[in-house]
Amino acid sequence: MQVSGSLPATKALLIVIDGLTPAMYEDAVERRTAPALAELHERGEYRRAATVFPSLTPVCLSSLVTGAYPDVHEIPHLVWYHRGEQRLVEYGSSFAALRRAGTRRGILDAIFHMNEEHLSRNAVTLYETVEDAGRVAAAVNIICYRGRTPHVARIPGVTRAAHGPKRFFYFNLFESDETGAPFRPGGRQAGGNDRYAGAVGRWLVTRDGFDLLVYYLPDYDYASHAIGPDSAHVALERADDAVRALLDAAGGVDALLERYAVVVCSDHGQTRVERPTSLHGSFGGVDDVVLTASNRAGMVYDLRGGRARELAHRLDGDPAAETVLFREDGELVARRDGGEGLDVLAEYPDGLERATAALHNPNSGDVLVSAAPGYEFTDLAGRHHAGGGSHGSLLAGDSEVPLLTIGLGPAPGSITGIAPLLLDQLGLERPAYARALSHA
């Protein structure tokens, strides 16, 4: 709803709380244990929306900032096989997995290559569109940051520049402005990343220093992985403190909304997991196959070609593999419990569209695996989150997100609708792939 007596905001703010489930959000705003979010919620339009598949952070954030499904932006997973370079790409399923893939190369992939090379040029980021129009974009802590402005790292010895928006803050590695924000006090276990974001966000809003701010709060996801998605109340309170920093910097919630249209969302959900497992047991003795898996999604690459159905059948007896996807003669095939039919995808939020886009991603495996409830696929180093939370599958718990819009009209049904909605608000043209998207 528009604040009484004010003109519509011509600037915009996107707040992303990583891994926040609709149930946790709804409970927190109802009981006002997240009072800043509750104040925003009272003034907006809310719904549960669907994320993309696999519901993993690099894939979801790439969709959030481009308005594209994975078949357009081409980021397929946390870990994947680069066919052109014949190597694994690991963005950080765990630090141990990063070391297993090659620490230096993994850091380069996660910080630089994802944005410079892996994120398709067919996809256009919000930052690129905003700044091509001569306006100012800002980003705090988000890993999908591709923009037009080169930034030099603040750490001695790191000479490589990253191209981000004009105002760019990336976990204190890249800082476009001196804000005085302390980096990660207490570490991510104590909400240090979110505190850093809060200090930077306060500085930006105080100066009204942007036309669009993408404000990413990652620490809730870490806590939810550790103790479970229904238990991370303290982490949500810390994220709420970072949202409060924006409200206070503007002079209160109504003053903030006089300046900015606002979106609050998460990138994916989480569900509790108890049973870690490996995909490798189904493919013993099979040559020319690469398996990539972590969290609750896996991929099988057929380096020989032509064996997608055969490889998919090998997962029939695996209780962790709830739904297995592949293409045959160009058509999507969904397999579950030894049977096939696209009707199984109707059980998932936007199941058919999400599965189709994932399979048409040129960097995806030939066979995609969505985990059954309670299961998690171990990563390259055998790490998992058993006893805590995880995500990645097609299931609603992994795939539904809270979505609040204020000053923008009805919330879209998919996170891919958020970027087009923000561009409309800013009076900027959508990319061609997003022009037909509905906001409903």
Question: What's the first-to-final CA gap in the chain, in angstroms?
Answer: 17
Query: Do residues 265 and 349 both lie within one domain?
Result: no
Report d(CA 346, CA 362) in Å as an integer.
Answer: 24
Query: Do residues 177 and 198 both lie within one domain?
Result: yes
Query: Do residues 328 and 253 both lie within one domain?
Result: no
Query: What local confidence, expressed as pLDDT, does residue 159 receive?
Result: 83
Which residues, including other chains, have CB under 8 Å from residue 315's CB and lie 6 or more apart? 279, 282, 321, 324, 335, 367, 369
- Confirm if 129 and 431 have CB atoms less than 8 A apart: yes
Query: Do residues 182 and 285 both lie within one domain?
Result: no
Sign of CA dihedral 162, 165, 167, 169: negative
Report d(CA 264, CA 404) in Å as an integer.
Answer: 5
Report d(CA 86, CA 144) in Å as an integer.
Answer: 24
Q: Is residue 2 part of a domain?
A: no
Query: Do residues 258 and 320 both lie within one domain?
Result: no
Residue bearing tokens 């229904």: 230
Report d(CA 292, CA 380) in Å as an integer.
Answer: 8
pTM, entire model: 0.95
What is the CATH number for 220? 3.40.720.10
pLDDT in tens, the chain (440 residues): 333 334 456 899 999 999 999 999 999 999 999 999 999 999 999 999 999 999 999 999 999 999 999 999 999 999 999 999 999 999 999 999 999 999 999 999 999 999 999 999 999 999 999 999 999 999 999 999 999 999 999 877 778 899 999 999 998 899 999 999 987 655 666 679 999 999 999 999 999 999 999 999 999 999 999 999 999 999 999 999 999 999 999 999 999 999 999 999 999 999 999 999 999 999 999 999 999 999 999 999 999 999 999 999 999 999 999 999 999 999 999 999 999 999 999 999 999 999 999 999 999 999 999 999 999 999 999 999 999 999 999 999 999 999 999 999 899 999 999 999 999 999 999 999 987 644 33
Report d(CA 110, CA 104) in Å as an integer.
Answer: 10
Structure-token pair, residue 211: 């036309």
Query: What local confidence, expressed as pLDDT, does residue 187 receive?
Result: 60
Query: Do residues 188 and 64 both lie within one domain?
Result: yes
The total of structural domains in the chain comes to: 2
322, 323, 320, 347: which is closest to 333 by C-alpha?
Answer: 323
**Which range of residues forms the domain containing residue 334?**
275-387
Q: Is residue 423 part of a domain?
A: yes
Query: Do residues 293 and 338 both lie within one domain?
Result: yes
Query: Do residues 180 and 219 both lie within one domain?
Result: yes
- Confirm if 257 and 400 have CB atoms less than 8 A apart: no
Q: Is residue 87 part of a domain?
A: no
> Is residue 22 helix, strand or coil?
helix
Query: What local confidence, expressed as pLDDT, does residue 190 receive?
Result: 67
Report d(CA 126, CA 399) in Å as an integer.
Answer: 23
Report d(CA 203, CA 250) in Å as an integer.
Answer: 10
**Spacing of C-alpha 281 from chain mean position:** 29
List b or e across 207-244, with b for residues whose CB sees 16 or more CB atoms inside 10 angstroms: eeebbbbbbbbbbbbbbbbebbbeebeebbbbbbbbbb
Report d(CA 57, CA 72) in Å as an integer.
Answer: 16
Which residues, including other chains, have CB under 8 Å from residue 201's CB and lie 6 or more apart? 140, 213, 215, 242, 245, 246, 249
Query: Do residues 146 and 211 both lie within one domain?
Result: yes
